[in-house]
Structure 1
Amino acid sequence: MTELEIRPAAEKDIPAIVAMLADDPLGAQRESPDDLAPYLAAFKRLSDDPNQHLMVAVREERVVGTLQLTIIPGLSRRGALRSVIEAVRIHADERGSGLGTQLIEWTIAESRRQNCQLVQLTSDSSRTDAHRFYERLGFTPSHVGFKLAL
């Protein structure tokens, strides 16, 4: 397999990222790849915030994976920094290739580099394969998450 580059996302990557976000039963219900305007506005907000890292995995000049890593300062845990992993997506052609593991390992290394004491993520309760994947990488299902749609 050809070499993989993990780098910050660029505006030109937004169509490929949105396509991956929409490429599953949950994403198909909430994403709109035909209208990139809200995604481009969100990309600008992310780019302006030094605690937000929208990353892409690129192989042969093609975006094949993405995730967002957020660094959160806090008071708990003696003022610890924590990181939050969101929106992990792997292109359908790359699933099962080890790319997801490489992306998560990158986030853990980056979180350590930024002196985070904790890496956390949430995963929709229906994504049982993803839960097994995260547990295999050392994550533990320690909390119950709640959301309120606004």
Structure 2
Amino acid sequence: MGILNVTPDSFSDGGKHQELEQIVECARQMVRDGADIIDVGGESTRPGAAIVSKEEELQRVIPVIEALAREISVPISIDTYKAEVAKAAVKAGASIINDIGGGRFDPDMPRVMAESKAYVILMHNRQPDGETMTVNQGNLTKYDNIVEDVL
């Protein structure tokens, strides 16, 4: 999976991908390098990152997904926990919803996932709803029995 963050503040490549043609070329290179999925994210979820409105996230990811859907042949994934963004992304050409909230951060997300018929990636996450960018992870990373606690 090639990760394409179109955010100014991602911990891995924040600010690196801003111009649409550059973004598309980066995705093409990822595919040439062997990526069989391109994952597009429009909101940094690193600890301490600012929460982005759904409107801003839509402005960041939808033009990218539309362009990628025309230009690359591998599946496109949308990395979001917002149902409205996921729905628009699937309409724009994404075939996978990658939700770091595990379907818990937006009450409409499970319905959007089901109705979209997209493939779904759910991340295990112990954060309380809507607090995805908490700096102090504290007890959220401690497990007594990892298998039992995750399942």
Where on the TM-score scale, by shorter chain, does this alignment land: which range? Answer: 0.3 to 0.5
Instruction: Give the alignment's TM-score, normalised by structure 1.
Output: 0.36
Greater percentage in strand? 1
